[in-house]
Amino acid sequence: MGGVPPRPREDPRPLKGVLRSFAFAWEGLAYAWRVQRNFRIEVLLGALAVGLGLWLGVDLTPILLMAALVLSLELLNTALEALTDLASPVYHPLAKQAKDTAAAAVLVASLFSLLLGLYLLLPPLLARLGLS
């Protein structure tokens, strides 16, 4: 019988299993950082928004939540792209639709993040610069 290898047994030591799960998640994060330029750009923009929010003294909660949403969707988009490439190594219109739709989810979250950032950060920034 060929095909899929058997699933590894779970480690009976719960803490070790949790630590391994974190290690796998870290590998996924490192992979996305290495291969996804947009992920690196989104991390930078999120850090800039947090830094600006700190400087302006605004509530960081919505900024952090939106940054987490955008980055999480980018990670899911990366995973979906990899799975789609595995399942459909040659061009297929449904594979394109899956990839484009996952990318659209990141775009929608990014646009709402931008709007929220402008709403939260622009008025105090203009006041700090003496332009309002």
Q: What is the pLDDT of residue 11?
A: 63
Q: Domains (ranges, CATH) in the chain?
A: 37-128 (1.10.287.3610)
| Closest of 112, 88, 113 to residue 98, by C-alpha | 88
- Report the distance separating Cα 76 and Cα 105, nearest Å: 10
Residues ≥6 apart with Cβ < 8 Å to 10: 17
Q: What is the pLDDT of residue 73?
A: 98
Instruction: Name the one residue in this structure whose structure tokens are 């480690």.
Output: 11
pTM equals 0.87
Q: What is the pLDDT of residue 3?
A: 76
74 is catalytic: yes
> Considering 10, 27, 42, 74, which one is annotated as catalytic?
74
Torsion of CA 80, 81, 86, 89, to 10 degrees: 140
Per-residue pLDDT for the chain (132 aa), expressed as one digit of tens each? Answer: 567 777 766 666 777 788 899 999 999 999 999 999 999 999 999 999 999 999 999 999 999 999 999 999 999 999 999 999 999 999 999 999 999 999 999 999 999 999 999 999 999 999 999 998
